[in-house]
Structure 1
Amino acid sequence: MSVPPLKPALFLDRDGVLNEDRGFVHRWEDFVWIEGAIETVATFNRAGWLVIVVTNQSGVGRGYYPESDVFALHDRMREDLARAGARIDAFYHAPQHPEAPVEAYRHPDPPLRKPNPGMILQALAEWPIDREASFLVGDKPSDLEAAMRAGVRSVLFGGGNLKAFLAAEALLPPSG
């Protein structure tokens, strides 16, 4: 069996990077794409990169909404992206929280929840990712810490147009 060639991966936090962070976004009616987000995903897709979302979703553990809402929202994101000729290769989410009232989601230090690197490490184990060529875009220090702990470089996105931000940081790949 041959080993697939390694590819760079663009790791993206969700709320605040791909969509406006309106607090516990879990319904499509509340979802608004960040300007330039769809174009960013399509640009990295065309260049042969993997695009992977890593998102804390403590609203599940806190009992605000069921995990099925997270899956349904991600499905709608996939549909919207597909209409634009773009795709997210994988979604990883962490519903756990140290103070979750839902016992199944309570953990004193959830390994998947950023700033822990669990979601990134899981993606690195499951996909043929070139860690050295990859990077994460996050909007919080915990995103950057998770990337650092996983050995992946990162950049802090402060809002605005995601594609313009990455272009200004010289992080857009040449179009493929």
Structure 2
Amino acid sequence: MTPAVFLDRDGVINVDHGYVHTPDTFDFIDGVFDACAYFQRQGYLLVVVTNQSGIGRGLFSEAQFQQLTAWMLARFEQEGIHIDGVYHCPHHPDDGCDCRKPAPGLLRQAIREHDIDVARSLMLGDKAADMAAAAAAGVGRRILVRSGQALSHADAGQADEIWDSIREASSLTLCHPKP
């Protein structure tokens, strides 16, 4: 079993401009490539888990999401980084599905499909919903980043750590998988 870094997309990988669905509105967060390369060198799988309610709201299509995802993955590959999986919830928040974070469905699917050592894994997210999904899935370390949404005291209380941005990863020595 291999540990993974679960990454929320909007607010962690890219600037959250709201319903980002085209490359011209997709701005990578400064340091994301260095951080992901660092995690990869440490032996982590890289898995994106993202709510995409813009699909369920009719703001963009599943095909547009897939096109943007292919573009994003190609950009990571250009930087020598392999993303092991991208899991998304296309549902409207009122649909009551089990894949929309804070539900753990996306993470559990990735854990099964990639034989992930969940106890040694990390979740990097910018919302309390990311932390709740990670806790429900048994993810060992939950890290809230400030590069996305404004954080409340309650949000911060759900995280094991708070970073200003994903770019902090490559400067920390404590990101090694736990034994």
Q: What TM bracket, shorter-length normalisation?
A: 0.7 to 0.9
Extract unaligned runs of 5+ from structure 2: 148-163
What TM-score do you get using the length of structure 2 for normalisation?
A: 0.84
What TM-score do you get using the length of structure 1 for normalisation?
A: 0.85
**Paired letter, 1:147:** A
Residue of structure 2 equivalent to 1:32: 27
2:166 corresponds to 1:162: yes
Q: 2:49 aligns with which of 50, 54, 73?
A: 54
After superposition, the Cα gap between the structure-2 partners of 1:75 and 1:136, relative to the gap in structure 1 and judged at 3 Å, is same
**SS of the residue 1:15 aligns to:** coil
Residue of structure 2 equivalent to 1:138: 125
Over the matched positions of the two proteins, sequence identity in percent amounts to 42
Q: Is the CA contact 1:51–1:89 (under 8 Å) kept in the aligned structure 2?
A: yes
Q: Is the CA contact 1:11–1:137 (under 8 Å) kept in the aligned structure 2?
A: yes
Q: 1:11 aligns with which of 6, 14, 36?
A: 6
Q: Is the CA contact 2:47–2:83 (under 8 Å) kept in the aligned structure 1?
A: yes
Residue of structure 1 equivalent to 2:176: 173
Matches within 5 A, 1:106-121: 107=95, 109-121=96-108
After superposition, the Cα gap between the structure-2 partners of 1:171 and 1:35, relative to the gap in structure 1 and judged at 3 Å, is farther
Query: Which is further off, 25-34 or 147-156?
Result: 147-156
**SS of the residue 1:132 aligns to:** helix
After superposition, the Cα gap between the structure-2 partners of 1:169 and 1:145, relative to the gap in structure 1 and judged at 3 Å, is farther
Q: Is the CA contact 1:43–1:173 (under 8 Å) kept in the aligned structure 2?
A: no
**Paired letter, 1:173:** H
**Paired letter, 1:155:** I
Q: 1:122 aligns with which of 106, 109, 120?
A: 109
Runs of 4 or more, structure 1, over 6 Å off, are none
**Paired letter, 1:138:** G
2:85 corresponds to 1:97: no
Q: Is the CA contact 2:34–2:170 (under 8 Å) kept in the aligned structure 1?
A: no
Q: Aligned equivalents of 2:125 and 2:172: distance in 1?
A: 14
**Paired letter, 1:64:** L
**SS of the residue 2:6 aligns to:** strand
Q: Is the CA contact 1:12–1:51 (under 8 Å) kept in the aligned structure 2?
A: yes
* Higher Rg of the two aligned structures: 1
State the superposition RMSD in angstroms. Answer: 1.6
